[in-house]
Amino acid sequence: MIRFVKNFLSIAFAAIISTCVYGQKFDSLALTPQMGWNSWNKFACDINEDLIKSIADAMVSSGLKDAGYIYVNLDDCWHGKRDSLGFITADPVRFPHGIKALADYIHKKGLKIGIYSDAGRKTCAGRPGSLGHEYQDALTYAKWNIDYLKYDWCYTKDVNPRCAYPLMRDALYSAGRPILFSMCEWGSDKPWEWAADVGNSWRTTGDISCVFDAADNKGNYKRLGVVQIINKNAALRKFAGPGHWNDPDMLEVGNGMPINEDRAHFTMWCMMAAPLILGNDIRSMNEATREIIENKSVIAIDQDKLGIQGLRFEIKDSVQVWLKPLENGNWAFCLLNTGKRDKTFDIFWQKYNLEDNVSGLSTSFYKEIYSITNLWNGKNCGTTAKKCTVIVPAHDVVLYRLVPLKKNDCF
C-alpha cells in the first residue's frame, strides 16, 4: 500500500510538473541574444520618467542603437499601488505621465521598452509582485505596449518556479502582444533543464557584482564576480540556442572596473552568447567604455546567427582557452587570463582540433587554414598555418576571428 501511494504521488507530481512546463510562447523573439540597457546596476531604485527618457535619447545619440542595443528596460521600483480592481499602476511621483506615455516616447526613438515584475508577493525592493495577478499584469503590459519583461524571484516562499514562470508565459501569450520573457530565477531550480519552452532567457547564477574575481558579500546574500559567473555558466552551453539563452546577468562594463577587466567581461559574455544588457550610465560614459560596448566586430560574435554558446576547451595555468563556432565556417578563438600577471602563450593550432558535439562542427585545423584577425585592435595576425605566440595581459583577453581561406587566397 505504501509503495502504491508513493508511486501514485510520483506520477501525480510528474503530471503537475508536465502541466506547468508545457505551453506556448511567442515565436521569433530573441533569435539572437537580446541587447539593451537596464536601470538596476547603476541606479537601483533611483529611477524616474526623466531619467529613462534621457537614457533613450543617449541610446540613439551615442551610437548604441546602431550597434544593436534596442531595449530600454525599467527594473524594480517603477511600481505604484494596485487599483481597486487589482490592476498595477505606475508610481505617480516617479512616472507622472504613466508607463504608456513613456513607451510611446521610447518607441518614437526606434527603441523598445522593458519592464520588471516578480513571481512572488512582492518585488525584491518591496513593490507589488505579480503573484495572483499574472493575467491582469500581462494585459496591462500589453495595453502599455511593453516589449520585454524581466521576471524576478523574491518573496516566493511556497511558490514552484516550474509553475510560476509558465503561468506568466501563458498570461503574456494570452494578452496577445509579443513580449520577450526574461526569467530571473537565479538558476536555483536549474531552469536550463526545463525552460526552453517557457522563457527567452533565464538567469543561470546569482547577481553579478562590479568586481572581476571575487565574491561580494552583501549581508544575507552574496554577489558574484565576473570570473565566478563564467565558471558557473561555462558548463551549460548545450542548453542555449535561438530563442532561449543562458543569462549570466547584466553587464557591469563602465561601472568602475579597470578597462582591461571591462574588456574581458564584455568579451566573455559575447563568447558565451549571453544577453548584452548594459548597466552603466550611458549618458556620461568615457570613450574607452564606448569603444568596448560599441565594438561591432566583437558584438557580432555574440549575435552570430548559429546561436552556439562558446566552449571552454582547456585551462592552462591562469589562461582559459575558448572556442565558439560561427556562421560560414568561422570560429571565435579567445584566451582569457584570470591571473594577476601577464602570460606568454603559445598557440599550437593543431592542439585545438575540435569535433563539437553541440554544433556538429569541426575546427579541422589539420586540413583547414584560417586567417586570423584580432578583434580588439583590428589587426591581421597571419594564418593558422604556423604556431602563434601571444602575450595575454592580466585580467584581460586576446580575441580572434578565424576565417577559412579559399584555395586561391595568399598570405
Question: Does residue 192 sit in the same domain as residue 337?
Answer: no
Query: Which of 61-68's residues contact partners 24+ apart within 8 Å by CB, and which partners?
Result: 62/282, 62/285, 62/290, 62/294, 63/290, 63/294, 64/37, 64/278, 64/282, 64/293, 64/294, 65/109, 65/110, 65/111, 67/293, 67/294, 67/296, 67/299, 68/35, 68/276, 68/296, 68/299, 68/303
2 lies in a domain? no
The whole-number average pLDDT for the span 172-201 is: 97
Structural domain harbouring 139: 23-302
- Is 207 in the active site? yes
> Is 137 one of the catalytic residues?
no
Q: Is the same domain home to 399 and 357? A: yes
Catalytic residue among 76, 118, 170, 207: 207
Query: Quick one: 38 and 55 in the same domain?
Result: yes
Q: Is residue 11 part of a domain?
A: no
Does one domain contain both 83 and 165? yes
Total structural domains within the chain: 2
| 12 domain residue, yes or no | no
Annotated catalytic residue: which of 152, 249, 262, 281? 152
Which pLDDT tens digit goes with each residue over 385-396?
A: 999 999 999 999
Split at pLDDT 50, 70, 90, the class of 68 is very high
Residue 22 pLDDT level (bands cut at 50, 70, 90)? low
392 and 321 in a common domain:
yes
In terms of domains, do 298 and 336 share one? no
In a domain, 10, yes or no: no
**pLDDT digit string (tens) for 370-410?**
999 999 999 999 999 999 999 999 999 999 999 999 765 55
What's 187's domain CATH number? 3.20.20.70
Q: Do 82 and 113 have their domain in common? A: yes
Instruction: Look up cell 558535439; give the residue.
Output: 357
**Residues 250 and 315 reside in one and the same domain:** no
Same domain, 261 and 338: no
